[in-house]
Amino acid sequence: MKFKLVKFGKELTISRGVIIAAVIFFLVELAIVLCRYYGYYSSQTSFDQGIFNQVFWNGIHGRFFQGSLSSSLSISEPIPDVSYHRLGQHFTPALLLWLPIYAIFPRAVTLYVLNVSLITAAGIVLYILARQRLEPKIASLIAISFYGSKALIGPTLGNFQDLCQLPLFVFGLFLALEKRSWWWFGILAILILAVREDSGILLFSIGAYLLLSRRNPWLGLVVCVLSFSYCLLVTSKVMPLFSHDVSKRFLIEEFGHFVEGEKTSSLEVLWGMISNPFKLIVEIISPFSQTFSYLVGLFLPLAFVSAISGATWMLMAFPLLALLLRNDAWMLSLSMRYVLAIVPGLFYGTILWWSHHPGAWKARLRRFWVICIGVSIFFTLTSNPNRALSFIIPDSINPWVYASPLQQWERAKIINSYIAKIPGDASISATSHIVAHLSSRREMLRFPHTELINDAKEKISVDYILLDLAQLKQYQVVFADDRERLQKIVPAIAELLGQDSYGMIGCQDGVILMQGGVVSDSVALSEWEVFRQQLEGVLE
């Protein structure tokens, strides 16, 4: 495999193979996520897209980090509030960087483009970083491995998430370190901390590497102290100013097995780990099979070289440890956003290994590496990450669960026709995979929530309810969470109709539109009754 260099200036040259890989990655990923978005295909993180879009939409209207959708997840808000600040759940000031772009294109789809663009750009910076130490052919394969890794393909096929900024910022930090550009190093370190309250864990790992490897011990010590202090300060002092979600919900849900009580802090969690070393070890290695497959998936596209790199293990030690200790099965999924905190150390550690072992480059290893990249891409796509390829790959073989593109686009037409009937400033509640399309508004909820606190501090009921139960009905046979949603939604609809608080003004193929304070349409009610009878087995 030969890699020709394409010049973009006197100093900047990029491998043609890397450029091709970046273009393919960008176009394919973007095409898939847009197909899922416009076709209303569900995913594990569809609701998150609506949360981020509403936060950005509120931001361009001067209501920074506010969102009724975020409020619906808060334990501090018994009734969702439009003025709730999401900073109490996740401290993400770095999102302000992209607000000008969103202001030009204020739509949820803009965030998909931004998500794919940031990851694609990170791969280019990775190649430039690798070229500081390696010859073009090795640097090119490292960058192509990046685009062929499930740890990048999977999360990017999901929805926009704050962690998508990490690879770009951290690779930039490593590049500043290589060039000894300390101003840029400091700026990027601050940006990394601003990504999320827990991104300091990644920066702490980088500081530990600089300290333990004696590459730059004083800088490493400063980075460790800065990142550790930042995490403690933000989680214990700053975030509680907005809500108590981090102490009473997130830390308890993720690390409650290390502490006692219904409220905790970062320091208490840390002490709970240190004071229970046996439990700490058990949590790290269990479940062993899932942890092992997770690591194999990480190392595969890099031909497992990263697994024998001491620098790799130091650079990703603390973010990996944080994932292994969390009480959440989704943490050990290469398709979820959390893996993006591990990726930078994984690839930079590989660069460092190759720089110290130039004689290891052999034609046989090169062929094996290319095969590993191909195998990684194959298993990534066949695993249908984030259900992004459900229009091609069945979600289940036995029982057979598959929605063809034609079938899904026909339902999308119905949903869009109902959306066209809803005023742009109306308050609305909807099912998860519809939320993002309607979240460019102040008052938005996920059903069965129907009440919120508006800007006048009055409790109101939403004006409209838009639900797609057909998709939930189809997928509930294999996805327990879809079945649970149906079992909550159908009784809630019956209650609202029984109270005459809402009228059903549209029902077609399981897509339902309701409006507050109106009389139900008789045809729509008849359609609903027929569909409801089809769900009797599920409801029982």
379 and 427 inside one domain? no
CA 378 – CA 383 distance, rounded (Å): 9
129 and 190 inside one domain? yes
Q: Is residue 196 in a domain?
A: yes
Segment 329-338 mean pLDDT: 84
377 and 417 inside one domain? no
More confident residue, 297 or 477: 297
Inter-residue contact 407 to 40 (CB < 8 Å): no
Write down the pLDDT at residue 6.
56
pLDDT tens, residue by residue, 67-90: 999 999 988 778 999 999 999 999
Q: Is residue 467 in a domain?
A: yes
Write down the pLDDT at residue 129.
96
Q: How far apart are the first and last CA of the chain?
A: 59
Write down the pLDDT at residue 125.
97
Q: Is residue 307 in a domain?
A: yes
200 and 259 inside one domain? yes
Average per-residue pLDDT for the chain: 90
| CA 505 vs CA 451, 468, 527, 528: distances in Å | 20, 14, 11, 11
Write down the pLDDT at residue 11.
59
Q: Is residue 70 in a domain?
A: no
Place of tokens 């490593």: 174
pLDDT band at 4 (very low <50, low <70, confident <90, very high): low
At residue 2, does pLDDT exceed 80? no
How many domains is the chain partitioned into structurally?
A: 2
More confident residue, 275 or 210: 210
Write down the pLDDT at residue 482.
85
Write down the pLDDT at residue 535.
85
Final residue in a domain of this structure, among 361, 387, 413: 387
498 and 361 inside one domain? no
pLDDT tens, residue by residue, 112-142: 999 999 999 999 999 999 999 999 999 999 9
Structure tokens at 239: 């975030």
CA 469 – CA 122 distance, rounded (Å): 39
Least confident of 45-54, 257-266, 479-488: 257-266
| CA 388 vs CA 155, 297, 391, 472, 509: distances in Å | 10, 19, 8, 16, 23
Closest by CA to 147, choosing from 128, 129, 121, is 121
pLDDT tens, residue by residue, 13-68: 888 999 999 999 999 999 999 999 998 887 666 889 999 999 999 999 999 999 99
Q: Examine residue 448 and say whether the peptide bond preceding it is cis (omega within 30 degrees of 0).
A: yes
Contacts of 413 (CB under 8 A, 6+ apart): none
pLDDT band at 281 (very low <50, low <70, confident <90, very high): confident
Question: What is the pTM for the complete model shown?
Answer: 0.93
**Which residue range is the domain that position 509 belongs to?**
405-539
Write down the pLDDT at residue 12.
66
Write down the pLDDT at residue 44.
62
At residue 284, does pLDDT exceed 90? no
| CA 85 vs CA 196, 326, 452, 513: distances in Å | 15, 25, 15, 30
3-state SS assignment for residue 140: helix
364 and 456 inside one domain? no
Closest by CA to 146, choosing from 164, 177, 119, is 119
Write down the pLDDT at residue 395.
82
Write down the pLDDT at residue 475.
86
3-state SS assignment for residue 516: strand
More confident residue, 225 or 290: 225
325 and 446 inside one domain? no
Percent of the chain's residues with pLDDT above 90 = 68
Q: Tell how far CA 334 is from the center of its chain.
A: 11
pLDDT tens, residue by residue, 401-453: 888 888 888 999 999 999 999 998 999 999 998 999 999 999 999 999 999 99
163 and 236 inside one domain? yes
CA 33 – CA 383 distance, rounded (Å): 16
Tell me phi and psi for residue 5, to 5 degrees: -95, 135
Q: Is residue 14 in a domain?
A: no
179 and 325 inside one domain? yes
